[in-house]
């Protein structure tokens, strides 16, 4: 397997191929060729091959192998530690060169895979988005020749000042007015006739929110004045109403919160 040597300039490698080539690229190819997972053991196994390729590179371009020497030094340390009868002890927080290099190599492999995917998308023409539908057709052109700001202001004023389009206030239908006093009279009349009634009976099909609220407020007002008694046998059940001992049908009600 041949490896292309990247040119070195201004402290960084030039991109010689669609995917960056350098020390990590060489190391990754050696591991993949040996069908090894990226582990500390795999790095120790390919050390000799890496050094062999480094020797070939150094014979051709000795001034461009500084970055390769850094990886080579790490590989030699990893291999020497793998040959020891027992692994060396490290201080808390001390970096493991084998794990650090393996992690760096995994990240590099991931970036290479993403670069290959992007290259495939570019070669497949997926780098752009085409309009599938035809552009909208604009019908008619307004000729604004000779029209300036004064003409636009005058046209706006003529539209906003049209009184014939306004709806007279007398034509607006107002909602029916329902008062608490009317509901109290309804409760009084119903109790006079039936002696006992229910909240649902007072509504008699008028289930609008306004009817329900005003009827309930009228009941609260009569209960507060001890004119009627209200009972509810179960939660959310119907409210039963009946006159109390102090009930007077001819009572005039002075409401505290208006009609």
By DSSP bridging, strand 240-243 and strand 197-198 are antiparallel
Three-state DSSP at 230 gives: strand
C-beta atoms surrounding 117 within 10 Å: 10
Return the residue matching tokens 């636009």.
152
Query: What's the pLDDT at 109?
Result: 87
For 254, residues 6+ apart whose C-beta sits below 8 A from its C-beta are none
For 234, residues 6+ apart whose C-beta sits below 8 A from its C-beta are none
C-beta atoms surrounding 179 within 10 Å: 14
Query: What's the pLDDT at 241?
Result: 92
**Phi and psi angles of residue 110, each rounded to the nearest 5 degrees, phi first:** -65, -40
Domain boundaries, the chain: 8-86+96-123, 180-243
CA distance 219 to 203: 12
Strand order in the sheet with 197-198: 197-198, 240-243, 228-231
Tell me what percent of the chain is helix, strand and coil, each rounded to the nearest 5.
50, 5, 45
Three-state DSSP at 12 gives: strand
Residue pair 240/198 in contact (Cβ under 8 Å)? The answer is yes
pTM: 0.37
Residue pair 206/188 in contact (Cβ under 8 Å)? The answer is no
Residue pair 72/57 in contact (Cβ under 8 Å)? The answer is no
User: For the domain bounded by 180-243, which CATH number is listed?
Assistant: 1.10.10.580
Query: What's the pLDDT at 62?
Result: 60
> Mean pLDDT in each 10-residue stretch from start to end of the chain (259 residues)?
35 38 76 80 84 76 71 84 78 79 86 87 75 76 82 86 66 74 88 88 81 90 89 88 80 56
């Amino acid at each position: 397997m041949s490896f292309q040597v990247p040119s070195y300039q201004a402290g960084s490698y030039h991109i010689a191929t669609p995917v960056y080539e350098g020390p990590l690229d060489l190391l990754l190819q050696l591991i993949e060729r040996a069908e090894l997972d990226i582990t500390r053991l795999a790095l120790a196994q390919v050390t000799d091959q890496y050094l062999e390729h480094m020797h070939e590179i150094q014979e051709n371009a000795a001034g461009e192998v500084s970055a390769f020497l850094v990886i080579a030094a790490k590989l030699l340390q990893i291999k020497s530690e793998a040959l020891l009868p027992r692994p060396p002890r490290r201080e808390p927080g001390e970096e493991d060169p084998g794990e650090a290099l393996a992690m760096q190599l995994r990240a590099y492999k991931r970036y290479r895979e993403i670069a290959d995917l992007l290259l495939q998308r570019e070669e497949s023409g997926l780098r752009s988005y085409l309009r599938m539908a035809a552009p909208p057709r604009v019908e008619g052109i307004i000729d604004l020749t000779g029209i300036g700001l004064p003409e636009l202001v005058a046209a706006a004023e003529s539209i906003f000042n049209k009184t014939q389009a306004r709806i007279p206030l007398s034509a607006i239908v107002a909602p029916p007015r329902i008062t608490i006093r009317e509901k109290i009279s309804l409760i009084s009349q119903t109790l006079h006739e039936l002696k006992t009634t229910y909240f649902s009976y007072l509504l008699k099909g008028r289930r609008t929110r306004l009817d329900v609220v005003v009827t309930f407020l009228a009941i609260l007002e009569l209960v507060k004045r001890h004119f009627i008694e209200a009972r509810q046998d179960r939660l959310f059940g119907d409210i039963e109403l009946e006159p109390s001992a102090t009930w007077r049908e001819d009572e005039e009600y002075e409401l505290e919160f208006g009609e």
